Structure 1
């Protein structure tokens, strides 16, 4: 047996073979293995039907049995096993009208999106490559399996997947495949925004997101995505991204969208929306002047770095601030949050003999600002001295 996948996944294949069925590794994990990368998301395909898989293994979970997938628990490790299948027409450009289980691996591989993903590997190391996927890996080409138009009519998301692979792998999209994206671009509207978001996240974290952005613009996908800037200069000049969120921030600012608009269009999480809102606010401050002590205190390192990178893309002739400089400025702050203050509301009530109320929040804010701007050291006795002096002055 080869040293591919986990010992548990190899054991699953051997058990299926001993039971009289075919079983192989398939898909992206095989592609990554051939590229010399760590293979993740190990998938196994088999000639056994879902019911036959369940008969072979004592511990299974039905996770997508209507599509032929059974989760096998082997030595406490969950392994996905999917029956060879073909798919009928895709009326809605999203999901097959019917899934049919088959006994032929070639038929199963024929339904896959790109040649580089239509690969299988036996447990002994034999590569099964009916559509030239290995050659396309060597040539760094993304090519649809069979007729590209048919593949995209089946599932329109495959167009965005092609763009994503161009970014992640740094490959070219083959001419016929690229042309088919242009012809079918409008059908991306049939795909749920959640599925598009997943692919866009991966695109933005790729090694060449510029390649992906250019393809989106040149093929016309940009006109049919929920929100996408028609001018990609800014997002192209602000790469690479430290995170997908940084990519979304560049997309937002380059397109002139608000965080709320983008969050609504792509159904972003509250955390993602908050990050984009913070980048927008930081970027707006940077447009007016260089960051101040208050800005370094208010915004996180990641937010400031994202805003600065995008600001520099908008202002290439201006002197920018490096990540090191941002980190140094923040490290020099006397406090990084109100929680670091050496006093709290109970102290203020004890010192004044007053009950709680709105005044507490107001004075804590004043103390926070005084310590931040070094008018008072972050020391309990020093803060008490400063506070009582200021408090009595206003009585």
Structure 2
């Protein structure tokens, strides 16, 4: 058993010593079997939230109405959820009610896919009533029970299925795939924010090329914001080598291939964070310029390193070239620059105003830009005395836009 589980064993033992059952569950077990990094260790238990609070002095209610509390123990936090069953679902997403039970089997039976319906004891023994271990070995994503029931209970599970394909490189079980195709329209009942979270994880997966193919085959793409008429653009995506691209680079690639009239409006419909929207819209403009011409020293400088790397990787991907050394090459270009940001100048706007005896205004921004470019191109040394002399000379010709 690996470290994340070993550290949580005392939590399991304290629950057991109080007379209850407790097991490791969820994605951590799947990732453990796959020898993948484990993010969070979750616990399922026969103890009710109130009983857990009596056992542990430090807890946080994170979903107590659904039986989940956060246990704070030895510098770590663990989500512990009471065994439960769920009634009929409303809005194809949320159970009408939750019933707490004392049966691990009933709790595992309510989960989405067999690979996620495995529990593990504190000694490392797997409890696998739905053959999830076999599904993992066969690299199959298969629902627990009838797929049409699981997808009608919670339509977001369809996006999760495609997302897991992207992350794990698994295939959809044939019955699961058929049901997904049939029930894809139910996704319209799911909040865009939830869909967007799954889609972003899909974009970050190593096997996203296969995931994009499935979006087309199942017609699930038609239920995603503003993609219903974009089949050809999506097909262009999976004709490229997508594996090396991260989530941001994938969004940028998609924006370019979609040929949108207004990229910002498209991203707002996905309910992405404002900071991400702003970054992507600017990066798209730079990518469109890059498709027309090479970088200049000035354009690289104003793009900034992170954005320039993202743009160049997408550009090389669109050009059918390898991106293995792209990031390193771009970093080398920035390392060679005298300055990479205005705050690296040896002077400030206050210095310039003092030297010229002027108050601030549009002229100051223009002057600072002139200084930046002169220093960047090594026409001017980046020290105060040199810049002061240059500014005073330049000021005499300011109206000529020196």
Short-chain TM bin: over 0.9
- The residue correspondences of 1:61-210 to structure 2 (distance < 5 A) are 61-210=60-209
**Match for residue 250 of structure 1 among 245, 250, 253:** 253
CA distance in structure 2 between the aligned counterparts of 1:394 and 1:150, rounded to whole angstroms: 73
Which position in structure 1 is the counterpart of 2:264?
260
- State the Cα distance separating 1:244 from its structure 2 match: 1.5
CA distance in structure 1 between the aligned counterparts of 2:368 and 2:56, rounded to whole angstroms: 63
CA distance in structure 2 between the aligned counterparts of 1:240 and 1:283, rounded to whole angstroms: 19
Which position in structure 1 is the counterpart of 2:237?
235
Q: Which moved more, 1:269-278 or 1:99-108?
A: 269-278
Q: Give yes or no for contact 1:205–1:241 (8 Å, CA) kept in 2.
A: no
Which position in structure 2 is the counterpart of 1:288?
292
CA distance in structure 1 between the aligned counterparts of 2:357 and 2:52, rounded to whole angstroms: 74
Give CA deviations for 1:322-373 in whole Å, capped at 9, x if unaligned: 3343233322322211212222223223333334433222222222222223
- State the Cα distance separating 1:62 from its structure 2 match: 2.2
Question: Which 4+ residue blocks in structure 1 deviate beyond 4 angstroms?
Answer: 317-321
CA distance in structure 1 between the aligned counterparts of 2:17 and 2:360, rounded to whole angstroms: 75
Q: Give yes or no for contact 1:238–1:310 (8 Å, CA) kept in 2.
A: no
Which position in structure 2 is the counterpart of 1:40?
39
CA distance in structure 1 between the aligned counterparts of 2:135 and 2:236, rounded to whole angstroms: 31
Which position in structure 2 is the counterpart of 1:363?
367
**Match for residue 279 of structure 1 among 256, 279, 283:** 283
| 1:56–1:383 distance in 2 versus 1, CA, 3 Å | closer
Q: Give yes or no for contact 2:249–2:314 (8 Å, CA) kept in 1.
A: no
Q: Give yes or no for contact 2:313–2:323 (8 Å, CA) kept in 1.
A: no
- The DSSP-based 3-state class of the residue aligned with 2:130 is coil
- The DSSP-based 3-state class of the residue aligned with 2:71 is strand
**Match for residue 336 of structure 1 among 328, 337, 340:** 340
Q: Give yes or no for contact 1:235–1:251 (8 Å, CA) kept in 2.
A: yes
- State the Cα distance separating 1:319 from its structure 2 match: 12
| 1:324–1:354 distance in 2 versus 1, CA, 3 Å | same
Q: Give yes or no for contact 2:304–2:340 (8 Å, CA) kept in 1.
A: no
Give CA deviations for 1:25-72 in whole Å, capped at 9, x if unaligned: 111111111112233311111122222223333433322111011222
| 1:7–1:129 distance in 2 versus 1, CA, 3 Å | closer
- The residue correspondences of 1:366-377 to structure 2 (distance < 5 A) are 366-377=370-381
| 1:342–1:266 distance in 2 versus 1, CA, 3 Å | same
Give CA deviations for 1:257-290 in whole Å, capped at 9, x if unaligned: 3441232111111221122122211112112211
CA distance in structure 2 between the aligned counterparts of 1:61 and 1:316, rounded to whole angstroms: 50
- The DSSP-based 3-state class of the residue aligned with 2:253 is helix
Q: Give yes or no for contact 2:92–2:186 (8 Å, CA) kept in 1.
A: yes
- The DSSP-based 3-state class of the residue aligned with 1:288 is coil
Which position in structure 1 is the counterpart of 2:8?
9
CA distance in structure 2 between the aligned counterparts of 1:213 and 1:122, rounded to whole angstroms: 37
CA distance in structure 1 between the aligned counterparts of 2:39 and 2:339, rounded to whole angstroms: 42
| 1:14–1:362 distance in 2 versus 1, CA, 3 Å | same
Count of residue pairs the alignment pairs up: 394
- State the Cα distance separating 1:3 from its structure 2 match: 4.9
**Match for residue 349 of structure 2 among 332, 345, 352:** 345
| 1:328–1:124 distance in 2 versus 1, CA, 3 Å | closer
CA distance in structure 1 between the aligned counterparts of 2:70 and 2:206, rounded to whole angstroms: 32
- The residue correspondences of 1:204-223 to structure 2 (distance < 5 A) are 204-223=203-222
5+ long unaligned stretches in structure 1: none
Q: Which moved more, 1:215-224 or 1:378-387?
A: 378-387
CA distance in structure 1 between the aligned counterparts of 2:359 and 2:60, rounded to whole angstroms: 59
| 1:282–1:234 distance in 2 versus 1, CA, 3 Å | farther
Q: Which moved more, 1:160-169 or 1:35-44?
A: 35-44
Q: Which moved more, 1:110-119 or 1:316-325?
A: 316-325
CA distance in structure 1 between the aligned counterparts of 2:322 and 2:125, rounded to whole angstroms: 56
- The DSSP-based 3-state class of the residue aligned with 1:5 is helix
Q: Give yes or no for contact 1:234–1:250 (8 Å, CA) kept in 2.
A: no
Give CA deviations for 1:186-234 in whole Å, capped at 9, x if unaligned: 1111111221222122212212111111111211110011134422244
CA distance in structure 1 between the aligned counterparts of 2:54 and 2:322, rounded to whole angstroms: 68
Q: Which moved more, 1:236-245 or 1:144-153?
A: 236-245
| Cα RMSD for the two superposed structures | 2.4
